[in-house]
Amino acid sequence: MTAENARRRRTAFVTGASQGIGAAVAVALARDGFDVAVSSTRPEKLAGVTAALKAAGAAAVPVALDVRSHSGIEQAMSEVIGAFGRLDVLVNNAGVPLRKLALEVTPAEWDAVMGANLTGTFFLTQHMGRHLIGSKRPGCIISIASTHGLVGRAERSTYGIAKAGIIHMTRMLAIEWAGHGIRVNAIAPGRVESMSPARAATTADPKYLESALKRVPLRRFCSVEEVAQAVCYLASPQAEYITGQTLVLDGGLTAC
């Protein structure tokens, strides 16, 4: 890579990138010309995605991060910015699911879901905002929300509340930081086909899948590649006039 090409490459940090949506997003950004940092609570699981990033011609920086830890966020962001010299795009993907009736949710489960999905997303975004404003550079923040943050559904209350918080956080920070050239957007997928452990139980239940599919007008689920392409679009110059928005990828589900 020439020095000129290195200067032209943008940088991105994708959290929760060892598999599924996060891994697909990281590789798609690498193919679009980004150098990419990726995180996981278990950094040894990042070997596959790191190899894929390098194969796509990107510099790859794997970091350990539990987004529920404030000190962990500071350490990871310091490592990423130190490695790249700057950070242009943050993709908040890390999170945990919870399928449970509201009457049965425990305080510990509530704290775990809010900490990973909403609190961690906010403080990572805050750190990114400080970096961009401090360096007087524009940038882009994209958070992975969910249609559960837009519509009501049984057994998804805690998770949906956290994702709804991300959606409104996106609006609030887009307004607050627009004057600094920082764009803040979110993506809200419906059910995404992936091999993640969180999908194992429902994927093995044909009746559940049939019922879920019937609710989708396009009669299929979203792919991780489609989420990745949406991220690439929002991170691209073609989306420079888009901020404060949530792009819904649901096959028409929320239009019903």
So what's the pLDDT on residue 5? Answer: 47
Q: Of all residues in the chain, what percent carry a pLDDT higher than 90?
A: 88
Give pTM, 2 decimals: 0.93
Q: Which of 43-57, 73-87, 206-220 is predicted least confidently?
A: 206-220
So what's the pLDDT on residue 199? Answer: 58
So what's the pLDDT on residue 174? Answer: 98
So what's the pLDDT on residue 157? Answer: 96
* Vertex 85: Cα angle to 38 and 131 (nearest 5): 80
Tens digits of residue pLDDT in 14-72:
999 999 999 999 999 999 999 999 999 999 999 999 999 999 999 999 999 999 999 99
CA–CA distance, 162 with 128 (Å, rounded to integer): 20
Q: At what angle do helices 70-84 and 120-135 cross, to 10 degrees?
A: 40
Q: Residues with catalytic annotation?
A: 159
| Pick from 179, 164, 200: nearest CA to 133 | 179
